[in-house]
Structure 1
Amino acid sequence: MYAVVEIAGQQVAVTPNKTFTVPYMSNVNDGDSIEFTNILLASDNGKVTVGAPYIKGLVKATVTKAHNKSETVLVFHKKRRKGYQKLNGHRQKYTTIKINDIKI
Structure 2
Amino acid sequence: MYAIVEIAGQQFKVSKDLKVYVHRLANEEGSKVSFDKVLLVDDNGNITLGAPAIEGASVEAKVLQHLKGDKVIVFKKKRRKGYKKRNGHRQSLTQIVIEGISATGAKKAAPKKAVVEADATDVAEEAQKAKKAPKAKKEDTQD
Structure 1 length as normaliser, TM-score?
Answer: 0.92
Which has the larger Rg? 2
Query: 2: distance between equivalents of 1:64 and 1:78?
Result: 40
| Structure 1 segments (4+ residues) deviating >3 Å | none
Give 5+ residue unaligned stretches, structure 1.
Answer: none
1:102 equivalent in structure 2: 101
Could you give the per-residue CA deviations for residues 12-67 of structure 1, whole angstroms, max 9, x where no partner exists?
A: 11100110111111x211101001111000000111110011112121100001x2
Instruction: Return the structure number with greater strand share.
Output: 1
Question: Number of paired residues?
Answer: 102
Give 5+ residue unaligned stretches, structure 2.
Answer: 104-143
Q: Identity of counterpart residues, as a percentage?
A: 48
Work out whether 1:3 is the aligned partner of 2:3: yes
1:42 equivalent in structure 2: 41
Match of 2:6, as an amino acid?
A: E
Cα distance, 1:10 vs structure 2: 1.0
1:59 equivalent in structure 2: 59
Alignment of 1:11-90 (within 5 A): 11-25=11-25, 27-55=26-54, 56-65=56-65, 67-90=66-89
- Deviation larger for 77-86 or 55-64: 77-86
Higher relative contact order (CA 8 A, sep 6+): 1
Cα distance, 1:94 vs structure 2: 1.2
CA RMSD of aligned residues (A): 1.0
